[in-house]
Structure 1
Amino acid sequence: MPTLLEELKRYSVVVADTGDLDSIKRFSPEDATTNPSLILQAVSSGKYDAVIKQILSEAKKGADKTLDELCDRLIVAMGREILERIPGRVSTEVNARLSFDTEASVDKARGLIRLYEEAGVDRSRVLIKLAATWEGIKAAEVLEREGIGCNLTLIFSFAQARACAEAGVWLISPFVGRILDWHRKNEPDVRYEPDREPGVISVRKIYEYFREHNYPTIVMGASFRNIGEITALCGCDRLTISPALLEQLSATDGVLSPIQVNSPTPPLIPAEPLGESEFRWLMNEDAMATEKLAEGIRGFEADQLKLEALLLDRLQGLS
């Protein structure tokens, strides 16, 4: 009997949600995603010490670089290492502190792509990751027109997903486990089977809507807490999975059936695109999405600051 991971790969593109090179090599994903928290974890493991040393040594010898610039060079160098081990794309995240500044997000994304191209990596192998705020979605709309593919993350609501599709975003990452976390906190007596969890239902709704309306935007389920959530979304375009859950899937036998979507004939005509005021109102009415989006941005920024402090400490330690 096949493993669940083998079955999953039959119906969905499996993406590694990690910067750990050993895990990427072991599970042979198509793509890989990173964020400040995963970058910090990977850097703290010591497996990128040689990369960090080279970047800091170059900075010490040449013109002074800000911590922000050093972090950019580090995440691009890590992205390049990851790309040597996967056939597809790597997602590299724009600083969370820019989540409410469209122009600054666009500038940062262009800078990251420039660093990748200087390192010999074509932009077609990179996805720029942005938080799905209104400003982040508008930044992605600009970048997509320039041929820079985007991954909109921290998606907790249908409104966020719909706005991304209408903006022509290449890929979105609707979260599953963090939605469950919110419901567990606010409804502690309610128990859900994995296939009936609020986060699973949210991703299915988004996926079905995109297919029914022929949006080309890829739906990649993210933020899983257990393999039941993952198998319940088998057949979704892509699923980004942590090494621990990839391990469980590879160690468990089973047969999976993909989720089914009946495409209407002719295709449905999309509604008028969401405007900013409607988007913000829908978010205001969704307490879970509003709270988890803000929490996610704060968390990524906290880890970005830790990463900058780590680099500063090592830079000062160089003789």
Structure 2
Amino acid sequence: MNQLNELKKFTVVVADTGDIQSIRKYKPNDATTNPSLILQAATSSLNQRFIDQAVAYAKKKGGLYEDRIANASDKLLVDIGIEILKYIPGYISSEVDARLSFSKEKSIIKAKKLINLYEEQGISRNKVLIKLAATWECIKAAEELKKENILCNLTLIFSFAQARACAESKVFLISPFVGRIYDWYVAKNLISKDFVGKDPGVVSVCKIYDFFKKHNYKTIIMGASFRNVQQILYLSGCDRLTIAPVLLKELESNNTQKLKKQLGLPDVFLSPPKTLSEEEFRWEHNEDVMAVEKLSEGIRNFGKDQICLEKILSKKI
């Protein structure tokens, strides 16, 4: 028995990639993408047809140059998502442009546009999770979208305040990042790169998991952004884990005895605490220096990759 099959006994395994070949090989339940992964997929010669389809769609739709670029980008994102859905039984997560992360209204408009593109091609909204950065604005956007049966995956979760606000807003799923928290602590020389044990990223997810289950929040917790297999194994039993192909390969190649479930339901359940106000959320998130830095960095970098993708499309448009 290998570690990947053992892990699947306790946790829903999700592929963190836009690479179709990897998804076909490792047979995850769900798949997640982001602007960086879509950019990687778009620059592969195997996916040139998706670029061509997106450009043709944008030209047919017409409009201003900016509209054509946006339409091509959205079409590319959705077409890759539809291709991935051919090989998984569960959800595909498709991410809204990170540059909209501080506008509730624009995030809602873009989310509805992506869902419409999926539905125009026969894909039910019940197969799609709209990914949004976990800013206050996007958390509230997800709350509104859920009323129209548009489910969201709130990503770039670094602070406990972000996770709690998502649960209180009844967000469908959150992606707390493990590896990027680990990276920050290593960069600040607060832990060594060869640290052994439950590092701060793992501890963060464990804290969120314990709080959600103890207070009976229904929001799904999907650990993300891993740097090594050990981080993944420490979180066996988490609702979902989204894992890059290189680590899926390592898990599959590692033979093991029965894997131990690390996370489980608590013995005692409590009533939920008073809901965080916007002011309380912003203050508590602001108090976590790591979270402030990594959320800002994540949004910026996803924005940069979106711009790179648009430059590729613009040359053809």
TM-score of the aligned structures, taking structure 2 as reference length: 0.96
Residue 40 of structure 1: aligned partner: 39
Alignment CA distance shift 1:278-1:62 (3 Å): closer
Matched, 1:24 2:28: no
Distance, in Å, in 2 between the alignment partners of 1:197 and 1:237 is 19
Q: Is the 8 A contact 2:237 2:264 kept in 1?
A: no
Letter in 1 for 2:216: N
- The one-character-per-residue Cα deviations of 1:139-186 (angstroms, maximum 9, x if unpaired) are 000011111110000000111000000000110000000001100111
After TM superposition, give the deviation of residue 54 of structure 1 in Å: 2.2
Question: Which secondary structure state, in structure 2, belongs to the residue aligned with residue 70 of structure 1?
Answer: helix
Matched, 1:232 2:231: no
Distance, in Å, in 1 between the alignment partners of 2:289 and 2:119 is 41
Distance, in Å, in 1 between the alignment partners of 2:219 and 2:291 is 21
Q: How many residues end up aligned between the 2 structures? A: 313
Distance, in Å, in 2 between the alignment partners of 1:245 and 1:13 is 15
After TM superposition, give the deviation of residue 286 of structure 1 in Å: 0.5
Residue 173 of structure 2: aligned partner: 171
Question: Which secondary structure state, in structure 1, belongs to the residue aligned with residue 174 of structure 2?
Answer: strand
Distance, in Å, in 2 between the alignment partners of 1:312 and 1:184 is 39
Distance, in Å, in 2 between the alignment partners of 1:24 and 1:187 is 36
Distance, in Å, in 1 between the alignment partners of 2:228 and 2:286 is 29
Letter in 2 for 1:279: F
Q: Is the 8 A contact 1:195 1:201 kept in 2?
A: no
Residue 295 of structure 1: aligned partner: 297
Letter in 2 for 1:312: S
After TM superposition, give the deviation of residue 57 of structure 1 in Å: 2.5
Distance, in Å, in 1 between the alignment partners of 2:245 and 2:266 is 34
Distance, in Å, in 2 between the alignment partners of 1:101 and 1:58 is 27
Residue 155 of structure 2: aligned partner: 153
After TM superposition, give the deviation of residue 194 of structure 1 in Å: 4.9
Distance, in Å, in 2 between the alignment partners of 1:106 and 1:189 is 39
Letter in 2 for 1:6: N
Letter in 2 for 1:221: G
Distance, in Å, in 1 between the alignment partners of 2:116 and 2:196 is 42
Q: Is the 8 A contact 2:235 2:263 kept in 1?
A: no
Residue 258 of structure 1: aligned partner: 261
Residues 118-133 of structure 1 aligned to structure 2 (within 5 Å): 118-133=120-135
Distance, in Å, in 1 between the alignment partners of 2:82 and 2:192 is 44
Distance, in Å, in 2 between the alignment partners of 1:310 and 1:30 is 31
Alignment CA distance shift 1:184-1:118 (3 Å): same
Residue 313 of structure 1: aligned partner: 315
After TM superposition, give the deviation of residue 222 of structure 1 in Å: 0.1
After TM superposition, give the deviation of residue 46 of structure 1 in Å: 1.7
After TM superposition, give the deviation of residue 196 of structure 1 in Å: 1.5
Deviates more, 1:250-259 or 1:103-112: 250-259
Alignment CA distance shift 1:88-1:288 (3 Å): same
Residue 186 of structure 2: aligned partner: 184
After TM superposition, give the deviation of residue 63 of structure 1 in Å: 2.5
Distance, in Å, in 2 between the alignment partners of 1:248 and 1:264 is 34
Distance, in Å, in 2 between the alignment partners of 1:135 and 1:260 is 31
Distance, in Å, in 2 between the alignment partners of 1:100 and 1:131 is 9
Q: Is the 8 A contact 1:25 1:85 kept in 2?
A: yes
Question: Which secondary structure state, in structure 2, belongs to the residue aligned with residue 10 of structure 1?
Answer: coil
Residue 204 of structure 1: aligned partner: 206
Q: Is the 8 A contact 1:194 1:229 kept in 2?
A: no
Question: Which secondary structure state, in structure 1, belongs to the residue aligned with residue 9 of structure 2?
Answer: helix
Q: Which runs of 5+ in 2 are unaligned?
A: none
Q: Is the 8 A contact 2:57 2:71 kept in 1?
A: no
Letter in 2 for 1:230: I
- The one-character-per-residue Cα deviations of 1:75-108 (angstroms, maximum 9, x if unpaired) are 0111000001110010000110000000110111
Q: Is the 8 A contact 2:206 2:263 kept in 1?
A: no
Identical columns (%): 55
Q: Is the 8 A contact 1:194 1:232 kept in 2?
A: no
Distance, in Å, in 2 between the alignment partners of 1:119 and 1:281 is 43
Letter in 2 for 1:256: L
Residue 118 of structure 2: aligned partner: 116
Question: Which secondary structure state, in structure 1, belongs to the residue aligned with residue 131 of structure 2?
Answer: strand
After TM superposition, give the deviation of residue 62 of structure 1 in Å: 4.9
- The one-character-per-residue Cα deviations of 1:2-36 (angstroms, maximum 9, x if unpaired) are 10001011100000000000000000000000000
Residue 14 of structure 2: aligned partner: 15
Residues 74-89 of structure 1 aligned to structure 2 (within 5 Å): 74-89=76-91
